[in-house]
Amino acid sequence: MPAVIDEEQADWMVQSGSSITVASCNASAAPSLGQGVGCRVDAARERITIFVLEPRNLAVLEDVRAGRAFAVVFTHGASLRSLQLKAESAREVPLQPGDSERIGSYIGAVTMQWAQIGTPLELAQALLPRGPGRVLGLEFTPYIAFDQTPGPRAGTALRSPS
């Protein structure tokens, strides 16, 4: 399956300090929402891994373990640039060498980005998932990407495999 994101989008997802919201749904189709603490994109931009803190994402993890649909939204607070990726499912994967550094870089970038738009440092740090519990990787292969930035292009499909 060809990548649905380009190189610039992949770099932006990893480096911009954008908030990462993960979503799925339960057996009754009720939404489950969670928060990511960073991501990794493979070289082909086909597989993306979102890092989540287990205790703060239990409902999403239950849905993922049941093989349900999975989506992620990256939103940059200062610009409101937003990108949504959808997948048929996701799966848990072990963290790889370098992932702890990716998570630390992500948390630092989000904290700085939020501070630049006026969020007090203490609040930014409180909102970011930290604390006890395992960090898990959720790997998925998006089949479609959407521009969700507010404005006339919001909801526009960027590209999907033919």
Q: Which string of DSSP letters, residue by residue, matches 2-22?
A: --SS-HHHHHHHHHS--EEEE
Q: According to the model, what pLDDT value does residue 160 have?
A: 54
pLDDT at 77 (0 to 100):
82
Residue spans of the domains in the chain: they are 7-153
Sort residue 11 into left (φ over 0), alpha (ψ -120 to 50) or beta.
Answer: alpha
Q: State the pLDDT at residue 123.
A: 83
Backbone angles phi, psi at 8, to 5 degrees: -65, -45
Taking only the tens place, the pLDDT of each residue in 115-155 is 888 888 888 777 776 667 899 999 999 999 999 988 888 88
Phi, psi of 115 (to 5 degrees): -60, -35
Please answer whether residues 135 and 52 qualify as being in contact, where contact means their C-beta atoms are separated by less than 8 angstroms.
Answer: yes
Separation between Cα atoms, residue 99 and residue 109, nearest integer Å: 15
Summarised one tens digit per residue, pLDDT across range 56-92 is 899 999 999 999 999 999 998 888 999 999 999 999 9
Q: Decide which of 3.90.226.10, 2.30.110.10, 2.40.50.140, 3.20.20.10 is the CATH code for 7-153.
A: 2.30.110.10
